[in-house]
A and B are shown apart, each in its own frame.
Chain A
Amino acid sequence: QKEVEQNSGPLSVPEGAIASLNCTYSDRGSQSFFWYRQYSGKSPELIMSIYSNGDKEDGRFTAQLNKASQYVSLLIRDSQPSDSATYLCAVNPAAGNKLTFGGGTRVLVKP
């Protein structure tokens, strides 16, 4: 079992719709959770961080964390073509500061 799992996609959504991305992790003691966006050929850039159960909203993005079920999700509202990218879920395990990344979900927003 991979430590951090994501559906590879592609997740195709029409412009203006909501894109919903999911991520599950195996280390129950994990404390910090992050969503990064990576455009093709570029390095990842941080979109959201979340540390406690519940929802966290930032503009069109909402991260949701459920530690009991060991999943973290990302919602992108009013999806734009510029949101087309690969979204990486990253988890900071209980021990140490090394982030573990999921395989990423490719999102395609069609005009």
Chain B
Amino acid sequence: GAVVSQHPSWVICKSGTSVKIECRSLDFQATTMFWYRQFPKQSLMLMATSNEGSKATYEQGVEKDKFLINHASLTLSTLTVTSAHPEDSSFYICSAYQGARGANVLTFGAGSRLTVL
């Protein structure tokens, strides 16, 4: 089945630094990927839709200058949390549709747990 690989699985950083999270589709091409954030005991909240070769589409309330998304190829999207602060500590999960093979089934990466000190 389709596999979405996410790296790193966890990261700890100091306040004010930037962190990059990678999301790769391993056996399929993904023109669109989605980035979610999940705080403890809460559901997934869509942050942005990453579009290959064009600008990402951000959900209301998500700062595009803070959460930089780059989708430079059909298999890779990156999320950079710039000038991270403790309130950015969360579980970040990317996802992609399998496309024609899998109808509109969304496959998730394993997630990246960010802790900002």
CB of B44 closer than 8 Å to a CB of A = yes
Contact with A along B61-78 (1 / 0, CB 8 A): 000000000000000000
Q: Would A49 and B46 be within 8 Å (CB), given that A43-B110, A43-B111 are in contact?
A: no
Q: How far apart sit A66 and B106, CA to CA, in the bound complex (Å)?
A: 22
Q: How far apart sit A34 and B104, CA to CA, in the bound complex (Å)?
A: 10
Q: A31's closest neighbor in chain B, by CB?
A: B104
Q: B34's closest neighbor in chain A, by CB?
A: A98
Once the chains bind, are A49 and B105 in contact (CB under 8 Å)?
yes
**How far does the Cβ of A83 sit from chain B's closest Cβ, in whole Å?**
19
Q: How far apart sit A99 and B34, CA to CA, in the bound complex (Å)?
A: 9
The interface-forming segment of A57-65, A67-75, A100-108 is A100-108
Q: B44's closest neighbor in chain A, by CB?
A: A101
Once the chains bind, are B106 and A43 in contact (CB under 8 Å)?
no
8 A Cβ contacts from B64-117 to A: 91, 93, 97, 103-111, 113
Which single member of A32, A88, A103, A104 contacts B104 (CB below 8 Å)?
A32
Q: How far apart sit A43 and B105, CA to CA, in the bound complex (Å)?
A: 15
Q: A102's closest neighbor in chain B, by CB?
A: B43
Chain B residues lying within 8 Å of A92, measured Cβ to Cβ, are 104
Which single member of B44, B103, B111 contacts A42 (CB below 8 Å)?
B111
Q: How far apart sit A92 and B34, CA to CA, in the bound complex (Å)?
A: 14
Chain A residues lying within 8 Å of B25, measured Cβ to Cβ, are none
Once the chains bind, are B97 and A43 in contact (CB under 8 Å)?
no
Q: Identify the A interface with B (CB < 8 A).
A: 32, 34, 41-46, 49, 88, 90, 92, 97-104
